[in-house]
């Protein structure tokens, strides 16, 4: 049937230094309609060893259905890709909404399943890796802080302030009290300025990339 309706290469034709595949199939009048395809004669061997022919309609049901023009194969499985782009909203919420609608309105035949791939699959894999890497990184930071302060309380206080160090706002000052000292961090006042801890009466102020030291009370 593949050779009769779709055609198959029977031989190769040489024309000068070029090669062409010669494809053979039935004439258009024998394959242009469903009735014509149903009437294609299929050969078979009789018990006596002779050849006989019967129409295809007696062997199979021939119908015209709408489906994918091409079916892909991956990991010994067939799949049909359905692609779409997201605009004006997040990818995760879009896929979650689509999953809910498909789950409530589409009933897949037996043996079929839906797999969300592409950027969403990469996002999900990145989130899974982050769920593993983030606790390890936080634990390592906590261990280093404990080795520095030798105090679990101070280590936890310092670790709790890490999310706020990246947010610099004018006039904001972050301070923590521990072990009898006051540590203050002030935002930069000029490009290239630095801010650092201040203790025992000394503070470093970021201003024009210069550090100024102020003596403690009682000192000259």
Q: Find how far residue 11's CA is from the centre of its chain.
A: 46
Q: How confident is the model at residue 186 (pLDDT cuts 50, 70, 90)?
A: very low
HSE-up (13 A, CA, CB side) for residue 165: 13
Only one residue has tokens 């990339």, namely: 209
User: Which of 46, 65, 84 lies at the terminal end of a domain, its last residue?
Assistant: 65
3-state secondary structure of 53: strand
Q: With CA atoms as reference, report the closest residue to 173 among 201, 138, 198.
A: 198
Tell me whether residue 131 is in a domain. no
Q: Which domain holds residue 177?
A: 168-220
Looking at residue 3, what DSSP letter applies?
I
- Work out how many domains the chain is built from and give that number: 2
pLDDT by residue (tens digit) across 28-46? 888 888 888 888 888 888 8
User: For residue 166, what pLDDT is reported?
Assistant: 53
User: For residue 165, what pLDDT is reported?
Assistant: 59
Q: What is the CATH number of the domain that holds 10?
A: 3.30.2090.10
Quote the mean pLDDT of the chain: 75
User: For residue 176, what pLDDT is reported?
Assistant: 42
pLDDT by residue (tens digit) across 119-169? 888 888 888 999 999 999 999 999 999 999 898 888 888 888 876 655 554
Answer for the pair 54, 36: CB distance below 8 angstroms, yes or no: no
Report the 10 Å Cβ neighbour count for 215. Answer: 9
Tokens coding 29: 């009048």
Residue 22: which H helix or E strand, with range?
strand 18-24
User: Which of 21, 37, 65 lies at the terminal end of a domain, its last residue?
Assistant: 65
């Amino acid at each position: 049937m593949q050779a009769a309706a779709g055609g198959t290469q029977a031989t190769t034709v040489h024309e000068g230094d070029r090669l062409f595949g010669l494809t053979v199939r039935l004439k258009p009048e024998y394959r242009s309609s469903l009735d014509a395809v149903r009437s294609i004669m299929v050969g078979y061997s009789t018990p006596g060893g002779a050849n006989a022919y019967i129409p295809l309609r007696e062997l199979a049901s021939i119908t015209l259905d709408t489906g994918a023009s091409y079916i892909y194969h991956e990991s010994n499985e067939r799949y049909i890709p359905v692609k779409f782009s997201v605009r004006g909203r997040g990818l995760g919420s879009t896929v979650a909404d689509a999953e809910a609608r498909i789950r409530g309105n589409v009933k897949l035949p037996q043996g079929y399943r839906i797999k969300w791939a592409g950027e969403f699959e990469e996002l999900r894999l990145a989130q899974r890796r982050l769920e593993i890497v983030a606790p390890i990184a936080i634990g390592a930071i906590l261990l280093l802080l404990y080795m520095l302060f030798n105090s679990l309380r101070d280590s936890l206080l310092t670790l709790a302030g890490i999310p706020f160090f990246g947010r610099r706002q004018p006039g904001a000052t972050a301070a923590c009290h521990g072990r009898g000292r006051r540590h203050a961090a002030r935002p930069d006042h000029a490009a290239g300025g630095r801010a650092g801890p201040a203790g025992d009466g000394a503070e470093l102020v970021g201003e024009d990339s210069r550090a100024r030291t102020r003596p403690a009370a009682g000192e000259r």
